[in-house]
Structure formats: C-alpha cells, structure tokens
Amino acid sequence: MMNKVLVFLAILVLIQGYQLTREVKKTVNDQEIIIQDIQNQEKIVKDVANEYDQETGRMLAAFTQAAYCLPKKITKWKCGNPCKKYQGMQEITVIQSANKVNKGFIGYYEPLDAIVISWKGTLKIRQWMEDLNYFKTDYPYCDGCKVHRGFWMGWQGLQNYFWVAFKKLREAHPESRIYLTGHSLGAALSVFNAMDLIQHGYTDFVWYNFGQPRIGNQAVIDYISENLSNQLMRVTHGRDPVPHLPPKDFGFSHPSQEIFYDKGSSPEKSHTLCSKTNGEDPECSNKYVFTTSVVDHVFYEGWDYVYNIGLCII
C-alpha cells in the first residue's frame, strides 16, 4: 500500500515540471466557450438530491479541485480551468484545521443560488499515514456506530470553523440549496460533515463524493441511509485504490449509492448506477481484485486533478 502512496506522491512532486512542459491551448473563441459553459449550467436541476446527474457531478468535481488550491487563490476564485468553467462563486471562506493539514471551503454559488461546501483530499505523507491506520472509535450520535479514528479526528479539527462559516453564509442565504462534496480524504470529511448537518436538522442537500474511502462500520452506514435517503452519489473510477480502503476485512463498509465509471471518467462515458441498498455492490468497483491505479484516483468526471491542482498550489 505504501508503494501506491509513494507513486501518487511522486506524481504530485512532478506537477511543476508537468505544467511547464504542457502547452495550455487557447482559442480565439475562449469567451464564447465560457459563455456556453455558463449557459450549460441551466441543465443542472436544483432538485437532484436522489438521482445522479452527470453535469452536477462534473461541476462538483471541479469544486473539489478548487479546494486543493492555495487559500488566496480559492478566495479570489482563481483555480485555473475549474474556476473558469464555473464562474460565480462568491462570499468564499477557506476552512482549515489549526495544523493546516485538512482544508476546504464554503461559498455562495450565484448561478444556482447554492451554498457549496467542498473538502480537499490528500497531498502529503503525513495525511496518508493518518488515512492508513485502521483503528476505529465510537461515533457519539448513534448506537453501535464505529468510525475511522483518523478521519473522525480530522473532522473534529474542522468542525467549529465550519459551523462559524456555515451559519454566517446560511443567514445571508436562508433558502439556498446546499451542495456538499469531497475527493479522497476530503470525501471522508464530507461524510462526517453530512452527519453533522443531520444533527443540526439539515437533511435535504445535494451530496457527491469522488474516490471516497470507507469511514465506518455497518451501523454508521445504516444511520446515514436512514437519515439521508440515498442522497449520497459516491462516484468511483476504474481501479482507484482509495475506495477499497480501509479493507472490508477490518469491519469497514460503504454507503450507497455508488456511481461507477469503469472505462474512462468523463461525463460522456458510460457509467453504472449501482445498488441503492448495498454500498458494496459486487458488480461495480468491487468486481476488481487488484485496485492499484493511482491514475484512476486523480481522474474524475473528465478532470485531470494532477494538472489542475498543479496550477493553483504554487
């Protein structure tokens, strides 16, 4: 497993060289393309909580990439291609743990009258070491619930900062729809974020995660299912190893519904709508015995995470 992690980190170390050698293609009709992208957002129906929508998935995957960027670039909405495609994010607050290990942002997305919450994934060995321990701890809000200790501690380090920012934005936009998303470790954080929202009476939000690891035992999964009625769209891609960690043999499970892109991750590629009741559907990503493709972990919804993140972390 550590070898896989090191491969991923090696890819990230090469970002700067990668971006210097890659030609950024521009066309004379850039402005026309941007206008068309904004018009395409009209296709995103606000009432999509229980059905997978490809354009919503592409948009939220873009927002997960933005969460990786330097805070000053997030607040100015200067995150490269994802921010250019989805213009209109306002009133942005970057949320970081005190040790600055975990990070995300919350903002108001004017084109959809939406509050967006997005959490970044893993970039450093320190975080991966936290991800890779398989110890569980009690989750205090449901009987018999056990959660991954590292992920839970990660959320606890963000929790207070999140609620200060969320309450301020909610007061300004009390009727706006909530969109929640995360990639990799950020997807795990979004699960605890979702469970916190439940505790505060928020149970109607659009929720997409990408490359999400398992976060707890079956009791936690049942708690999520009972309270959120299959709102989670858990997108997986090919042989991405992260959704298979921690292993099932350690007593961890996934919530449904999995959305599985097997051959390619772009929205125009075919995908499988997996079981709505079994988060461990054997016909989806679990069909693979060997899940070793780090590349699959950094390509979601047609986005090249390595390239786009590389443009906004330096």
In the chain, the number of structural domains is: 2
241 in Cβ contact with 291 (< 8 Å): yes
Those residues whose C-beta lies under 8 Å from the C-beta of residue 278, and which sit 6 or more positions away, are 256
Task: State the average pLDDT over residues 247-265.
Answer: 92
Asked whether the CA dihedral 214, 215, 219, 221 is positive or negative, the reply is: negative
Whether the Cβ atoms of residue 38 and residue 32 lie closer than 8 Å to each other: no
257 cis-preceded (ω within 30 degrees of 0): yes
* 167-204 confidence digits (pLDDT tens): 999 999 999 999 999 999 999 999 999 999 999 999 88
Whether residue 115 sits in one domain with residue 7 = no
**C-alpha closest to that of 219 among 140, 109, 107:** 140
Instruction: Give me the pLDDT at residue 283, please.
Output: 96
Do 41 and 176 belong together in one domain?
Answer: no
pLDDT in tens, 131-153: 567 899 999 999 999 999 999 99
Q: Give DSSP secondary structure letters for 199-211.
A: HTT----EEEEES
Residues 208 and 91 in one domain: yes
Specify whether 32 is located in the same domain as 62.
no
What pLDDT, on the 0 to 100 scale, is given for residue 52?
A: 94
Looking at 118, 184, 225, 285, which residue is catalytic? 184
Given a cut of 90, whether residue 101 has pLDDT beyond it is no
- The question of whether 270 is a catalytic residue gets the answer no
User: In this structure, are 2 and 129 located in the same domain?
Assistant: no
Q: HSE-up of 109 (CA within 13 Å, CB side)?
A: 25
Residues 22 and 143 in one domain: no
**How confident is the model at residue 123, as a pLDDT?**
57
CATH number for the domain harbouring residue 290: 3.40.50.1820
Q: 33 and 123: one domain?
A: no
Is 297 an active-site residue? yes
240 is catalytic: yes
Distance in angstroms (rounded) separating the CA atoms of residues 191 and 209: 9
Q: Find the catalytic residue in 131, 240, 281, 296.
A: 240
Give the global pTM. 0.84
Within this chain, do residues 151 and 233 fall inside the same structural domain, yes or no? yes
Instruction: Please determine, for residue 38, whether its predicted confidence score (pLDDT) is greater than 70.
Output: no
**Same domain flag for 264 and 161:** yes
Q: Stretch 155-159: mean pLDDT, rounded?
A: 97
58: containing domain: 53-311
Q: Residue 197 half-sphere exposure, CB side, CA atoms within 13 Å?
A: 22
- 61 and 33 fall within a common domain: no
Average the pLDDT over 148-167 and give the result: 96
- Structure tokens, 264: 């390619």
Q: Are residues 189 and 256 in the same domain?
A: yes
Contact 111, 41 (CB under 8 A): yes
Residue 91: exposure state from Cβ atoms within 10 A (0-12, 13-18, ≥19): middle
Q: Which residue's entry shows tokens 């299912």?
A: 225
Summarize pLDDT for 206-233 with one digit per residue, the tens. Answer: 999 999 999 999 999 999 999 987 799 9
